[in-house]
Amino acid sequence: MNRPSPDDPVQDGLHRLDGYLYWQAELAEARREATAFCDRLPWLTTGERHDLEEEYARARVDMAKAAIRRIADRCTELRAEYEARYQHLRRRTVALTLGTASCILTVWELLRH
């Protein structure tokens, strides 16, 4: 996926909207899971059920936030690794190209004389 350019407000806005919609889906799923969990506990009073649903949903959202942070951190690490590898490969390719061109020119000059 391409990163939004600071010069492209449309792409930036679309990425922000995508993140917002993703997060809203996470919140809705946390609430659904909390309700389903409490449905298996019919002896809870209304207040207990409400409190348990809130706590369950909050814990689920906290876990989702932690997972997203870990994924984002790993993406940053991988990006840095790949950029470093790319730069290394680029330097090697340029050096090899220049070395090969130099050898070809040297041989050509030797053969000309």
Q: Residues 40-99: pLDDT tens digits?
A: 999 999 999 999 999 999 999 999 999 999 999 999 999 999 999 999 999 999 999 999
Pair 61, 30: CB distance under 8 Å: yes
Condensed to tens digits (0 to 9), the pLDDT of residues 93-108 reads 999 999 999 999 999 9
Q: How far from the centroid of its chain's Cα atoms is residue 69's Cα?
A: 9
pLDDT exceeds 70 at position 3: no
Question: How many other CB atoms are there within 10 angstroms of residue 64's CB atom?
Answer: 16
pLDDT for the residue 6? 61
